[in-house]
Amino acid sequence: MQIKTLSSKEAPQQSSQEVLHGIWQPEGQEGLHLWMETASPSENLTSSQKNANYHPYALDHPQLQQRITTDLLPSNEERLQQLLLSLPTDLTTQLPCSSWESPSSSSSVSLAHWHIPSFHIPKDEIIVFLMLLGKKNYTYKLGSSLSYWHTLGLFVLELIEKGAFYPTMELSRTSDSYKARWKPLFTDVYTTYLDELSLHMPPVCRSFVVQEYSASFLSNHFIQEILDTFIKKHPGPLASFVDTLSSSDPLQEPLRRWLTQLLGYDNELHHTFLPSRDHATNSFATELLRQVTLCETNPTQERTPVITEEKKQFKLLFKLEYPETAAHSWKLSFFLQATDDPSLLLSAESLWNNDSSGTEYPSSLILNAYEDPQDRLLQELLKASRIVGRLTYSLEQKLPSPLVLSTAEAYEFLQHEAPLLCTEGFTLQLPYWWHKPRKKLRSRVHIKRPSLTGTIGSDALLDYDWQVSLGEHVLSEQEFKELTALKEPLVNIRGEWITIDRKELSSALALFQQKRASSLSLTEALRLAWEKEDTLTGFPLESVTTEQWLTDLIQHLQDPQQIAPLITPSSFKGQLRPYQERGLAWLSYLKDSSFGACLADDMGLGKTIQIIALLLHQKNSSRPTGPHLLICPLSVLGNWQHELARFAPSLTFMVHHSPDRPSKDAFKRKALAYDLVITTYAISLRDHEELLSLEWESIILDEAQHIKNGSSKQTRVIKTLRSRSRIALTGTPLENRLGELWSLMDFLNKGYLGTEESFHKKFTLPIERYNNQERASALKSLVNPFILRRVKTDTTVINDLPEKIETKELCHLTKEQASLYQSVLDTMLYTIEQAEGIQRRGLILSTLMKLKQICNHPAQFMRDNSSLENRSGKIIRLEELLDEVVAKKEKSLIFTQFATMGELLHKHLSTKYQEKVPFLYGGTTQKERDALVQRFQDPKGPPLFVLSLKAGGIGLNLTEANHVFHFDRWWNPAVENQATDRAFRIGQKNIVHVHKFICTGTLEERIDRLIEQKKQLTDLIITGGEHWITELSTQELKDLFSLTP
C-alpha cells in the first residue's frame, strides 16, 4: 500500500528556530495536544515556574496560541492545557527535542519531567487539522511527531474510503453499560504496514510521565478513536434506517439504541446507553459479538475462534498490601489480568465460584471469549512458585488463597523476589512508597550565641543543638534504640513504612550516647550554613537555623550591599568612586569581624586606593592600632610609594628593602614608629625573623598570586606571620588550579576550607577532573563571602570606561618558517619513539618551545641576529598595523613571553621607525622601570613600548596606549588579560584595541582553541600549564603539533 507522508522536504514551511510538536493523549483530556519548542531557552520563567520544572524551551500559552491561531486554528483559551512530559536533558542543561527525533536516539538521551503549556484539539477536529498541515504555509517547522500523526490521519481516511471498518460494541469503563463503536478492519497488508509504522514512532510521541504507552497501543488507539469519531460525525445513508425500527418493541430497542449511538446522535445523552444488566441487551450483545468474531476472521481461512490457544489471554498480577501498623501482617494477593484489557482482574475466589460481579464483564462473556482462567491461574502460580517458594502453600489448597507475610518476609519479597518476578513477565502492584528514594537520616542544626558574652570574632566558640530526622520524623534517642533493636531494614515509624540503613542507625545512636560538647567556631558555623554539609554528625544536613545576630552576619557577608556605607576619611586626598566606597566598607566590616578578605577587582579599578582609604580609616578609629604590613612585588613598590604620598600624606610608612635596612631589635623599634611597613616578597623570606617579631594590625598581600603554591617556602613563611587580620589583593584569585584558591583562603582564614588534602579530595578532583557542577557551586558559595570581585565591563560598577575591542590577527607562516617547523616536528616525532619517562617529557617541552619560537620568527629560533624583515608572517602583519597606529599618532604596547624576541622587536622597530623603542623585561631595574613608564606616559614620548609578558604584565599604569599587541600567546587567558589591563584601566580615555597574533594551521591555533575553552569554564574550573602535553601519545602529539592547510 502507498500512503503519501508529510516529509520535511514537502511540508510547506519556512526555515525557523521554532518546532511544533503533537502529543496524542489516550486518556483524560483525550485528543491531540500541540506544543511549540524554541531553539534557545526562555529567560522569562518566574522562580515558581522554574521550581515547578517548566520546560525552558517551550513557548508559554499566549505565545503558543498566537502562533497556532495565526496559521491553523481559531483562538480558544478554553483549550489551553498543561502536559507533564518526560523530555531530553543532561546533568546541567535542558536539551531541545531535536536531539530526540528518531527512535534510535532515545537510548542515548537522559530524560527528566517537565511541565509543558499545550493547545488541545478535540477528536472531531483532528482530521481537518492534520489535512491543513499539508496545505497551509506557516512560519515554523513541524516536528517528527506531527508528521507521524499526519501519516496516521491519511491512513484513517484510506480505511474509510475503502470501507475497511465495522460496527461493534464494548463495555464502558466509566459506567455499567455497553457503548456502540466503529472499529477498523485490518487486512494482513494493513496490519503489516501499521506494525512497521509503529516501529518508527518518534520518541516524543511517547513522552508521557504518568502512564507509559507502547507505540503500537498509541497508534491503534489513535486510529480507532479518530475513525469512530469521523464516521459518527458523517453517518451517510444509514441514518434513515433507524427510523424504520419500532421504539415500542423491547426486542428492537437494543438494536435501535445501538444504531443511534453508531450514528453519533446521543453521545451527550448518557441515559440512553445500553445497560449491561438488561437481559435483552445482553442477548443482543452476545449475538453481536459472535457476528463480530466472524467478521474479524479471515474469510479465506477456516473460521476458528479469534482467540487462539497459542495467545496468552491472561497474565498473573501480584498485589502486596501493607498494614497500617507493625503489629499486623502483610497480604500478598494474586489475580488474573486480561492482556487485552488491564482493567479486567479476576481473583481465585471469583474464578472458583464462577462470580464476575466484581468486574465489568458478564461471566458468559469471559467464558466464551477467554481461555480457561482456572487453568491459567494454576499454571502461572506454579511458574511463580519457583521464585516465591511460599506460593506452593497456596497451590496445595482447594482454593488458591492470598499469602499472609511477616514484615521480614515482605521485605524479602520487595527487595529480592519482586524484581525476579518482573523479569519473568509477571505484573506487580507494590506499595506506592517502595519506588520512592530511600529516606536517609538527616541532621538539623541550630547555632546560638555562647553563654559567655564578649566580642565574637572568627575564632569564637559558639553553642549549637542538633537533631537527627528520618524523613519527616525527628527521632529521639529512645526511638533510635527501639529501631536498632528491631534488626529489620523495614520499619514502621508513626504509621509510615520506611526502609533504613542499620549502619546509619548505629552511628546516630553512638552520637546520642557520646553526649559530646556542643560547640564550634564561627568559621565552622559559616561553613556549615553555606556548604550545607554537616561535618559535625556525618549525616546530610537538612537545615541550619541561627540566632538573629548570626543571620545578620551571614546576610552581610553574602550581600556586601547590605553593609552600612563608610564615610571616606577626611585625610584621604582624593575622591573614591561609589564602588570603591562600597569596597572600603566591605574591607572594614570583614576586618572588624576578624575575617580575612580578598579584594579581587579587575586590574585598573583602584584596589590600591581602597586599601589606602582603609588604612586611614583604621588610623582615625578610636581603637589604637599597631603598624600594618604590606608585602608586594618589587615591580609595584614604587607605585605604592607614589600613591601613598599622593592620597595619604598623613600616613607614615617605611620601606623595608634597601641593603642597609634595619634588622632584629632595630627593625622592631623603627617599625613601631610607623603606620605602615612596606616590603617585598623576596625580603619577607630573607627577613622572616624580623617580620615575625611583631603582631601586625593587618598583613596585606599585593599581587597575592605569589602565594598560590601552598607548598612553596615563601608561602609557608608568610603564613606564619602574626596579625589581627589579613587582606589579599589580586586581579586573578585563581589562575590555573583550585589548589591556588585553597592556598589563598588558607592565608586569609586558616582552616576554613580544611586541609589541603581534604580540599583536594572534596573539591579539586571532582571539579577539575570530572567537571562536577554541584561541587563547583558548593565551593563558590563558600569562598564568595570573602572575595569581592568587580569587573570593568560591568556598567553598574563603572560606566565611564571606554570600550575594549579584541581582534585575532591570523598570520601565515613564510616558506622559511614552514620548513623549519616541519623539520623540528619530524625530528621530535622520530626521537620520542625511542625515549621515555623524564627524557620524553623534556623532549616534548623543548619541541613545544622551538615551535613557538619558529612561529614568532626564524631569527629567534636560530639565535643568529639576522634581519627580521619579510621572514615572518607575524612581523609582516605587525608592521602593517603599526604603520597605521603611528600615522594616527596613537600609542601601542607589544607583549611577548620571550625576552629574546622582545630584544629583537626592540631593535627592529627602533630602526624602522627611527626612534628608540623602550623595552621592559625581567632584567630591568626598578629605577629603569619607573623611567621607562614615565617616558612612555609622556604624550610626547615614544609611540611603541615592547614588554615581556611576565615583567610588564602587572603593576604598571600605561593608559597612554590604546593598542595592545600580544605577539605570541600564553596558555592562561588571565595572564594575557592582566597585560591588557596595563592600558584598559581607569584613566583610559580612548577605545582600547587588543590584537592577538596567531599563526594559522600551527600549534598556536590549537593553543587559541584551548584558551577559548578556558574562557567558557566557570571561574572555579580553570586548568592550565603545558605539562599535560607531555603525557599525550605520539599520535596525539602529531595531531596537536602538525601543520594543517
CATH number of 916's domain:
3.40.50.300
pLDDT tens-digit map of 618-642: 998 877 678 999 999 886 787 788 8
pLDDT at 209 over 80: no
Residue in this structure with the C-alpha cell 584558551, named with its chain if needed: 1011
Pairing status of strand 110-121 against strand 31-37 = antiparallel
Vertex 892, ends 888 and 894: CA angle to 5°? 145
The pLDDT score that the predictor gives to residue 775 is 84
Residue 1029 shares a structural domain with residue 945: yes
822 belongs to a structural domain? yes
The pLDDT score that the predictor gives to residue 573 is 93
Residue 74 shares a structural domain with residue 128: yes
- pLDDT-wise least confident of 281-290, 485-494, 503-512, 647-656: 281-290
Mean pLDDT for 429-440 is 84
743 belongs to a structural domain? no
pLDDT at 857 over 80: yes
How many residues would you count in the chain?
1045
1031 belongs to a structural domain? yes
The pLDDT score that the predictor gives to residue 233 is 81
Confidence band for 821, pLDDT divided at 50, 70 and 90: very high
- pLDDT-wise least confident of 415-419, 661-665, 699-703, 764-768: 764-768
The pLDDT score that the predictor gives to residue 910 is 94
- pLDDT-wise least confident of 91-105, 561-575, 906-920: 91-105
pTM of the model: 0.48
pLDDT tens-digit map of 335-379: 988 887 787 888 888 877 765 555 544 444 455 455 677 778 888
Question: How far is Cα 792 from Cα 1009, in angstroms, rounded to an integer?
Answer: 25
pLDDT tens-digit map of 687-709: 999 999 999 999 999 989 889 88
Confidence band for 840, pLDDT divided at 50, 70 and 90: confident
pLDDT at 908 over 90: yes
The pLDDT score that the predictor gives to residue 249 is 57
Say which residues have a Cβ less than 8 Å from residue 796's Cβ, sequence separation at least 6: none
More confident residue, 272 or 480: 480
Query: End of a domain among 161, 196, 213?
Result: 161
Q: Contacts by 769-773 with C-beta closer than 8 Å and gap 24+?
A: 771/1021, 773/91, 773/92, 773/1018
Question: How far is Cα 128 from Cα 132, in angstroms, rounded to an integer?
Answer: 6
pLDDT at 906 over 70: yes
Residue 836 shares a structural domain with residue 888: yes
Residue 534 shares a structural domain with residue 615: no
Q: Is 1040 exposed, middle or buried (0-12, 13-18, 19+ CB in 10 A)?
A: middle
Residue 24 shares a structural domain with residue 58: yes
pLDDT tens-digit map of 285-326: 666 766 666 666 553 343 333 333 444 478 899 999 999 887
Tell me which range, 5-9, 806-810, 960-964, is most confidently predicted by mean pLDDT. Answer: 960-964
Structural domain containing residue 1009: 804-1041
- Phi (first) and psi of residue 24, to 5 degrees: -90, 120
708 belongs to a structural domain? yes
Mean pLDDT for 736-752 is 88
pLDDT at 84 over 80: yes
pLDDT at 520 over 60: yes
- The grid coordinates listed for 656 are 623595608
User: Three-class SS of residue 808?
Assistant: strand
Residue 506 shares a structural domain with residue 411: no
- The grid coordinates listed for 812 are 601565515
Mean pLDDT for 902-923 is 93
261 belongs to a structural domain? no
**Domain harbouring 645, CATH code:** 3.40.50.10810
More confident residue, 194 or 970: 194
Question: How far is Cα 217 from Cα 205, in angstroms, rounded to an integer?
Answer: 12
Query: End of a domain among 558, 589, 609?
Result: 558
326 belongs to a structural domain? yes
Q: Is 87 exposed, middle or buried (0-12, 13-18, 19+ CB in 10 A)?
A: buried
The pLDDT score that the predictor gives to residue 853 is 94
Residue 854 shares a structural domain with residue 718: no
The pLDDT score that the predictor gives to residue 203 is 87
Domains in the chain, number: 5
Nearest Cα to 968, choosing from 875, 884, 881, 890?
875
Confidence band for 518, pLDDT divided at 50, 70 and 90: low
- pLDDT-wise least confident of 102-111, 165-174, 279-288, 585-594: 102-111
pLDDT at 497 over 50: yes
Say which residues have a Cβ less than 8 Å from residue 1043's Cβ, sequence separation at least 6: 813, 818, 821, 822, 825, 1001, 1002
pLDDT at 609 over 90: yes
- pLDDT-wise least confident of 455-459, 488-492, 564-568, 587-591: 455-459
Residue 653 shares a structural domain with residue 545: no
Query: End of a domain among 397, 417, 435?
Result: 435
Residue 394 shares a structural domain with residue 536: no
Residue 356 shares a structural domain with residue 459: no
Residue 469 shares a structural domain with residue 512: yes
The pLDDT score that the predictor gives to residue 418 is 93
pLDDT at 110 over 80: no
Q: Is 97 exposed, middle or buried (0-12, 13-18, 19+ CB in 10 A)?
A: buried
The pLDDT score that the predictor gives to residue 8 is 44
More confident residue, 573 or 212: 573
Q: Is 62 exposed, middle or buried (0-12, 13-18, 19+ CB in 10 A)?
A: exposed
Residue 143 shares a structural domain with residue 35: yes
- Contact between 57 and 94 under an 8 Å Cβ cutoff? The reply is yes
Confidence band for 1040, pLDDT divided at 50, 70 and 90: confident
The pLDDT score that the predictor gives to residue 500 is 81
DSSP 943: S
pLDDT at 222 over 90: yes
283 belongs to a structural domain? no
Say which residues have a Cβ less than 8 Å from residue 433's Cβ, sequence separation at least 6: 496, 497, 498
pLDDT at 11 over 50: no
The pLDDT score that the predictor gives to residue 532 is 63
- Contact between 21 and 116 under an 8 Å Cβ cutoff? The reply is no
- Contact between 182 and 292 under an 8 Å Cβ cutoff? The reply is no
793 belongs to a structural domain? no
Mean pLDDT over the full length of the chain:
80
Share of the chain above pLDDT 90, in %: 24
The pLDDT score that the predictor gives to residue 1019 is 41
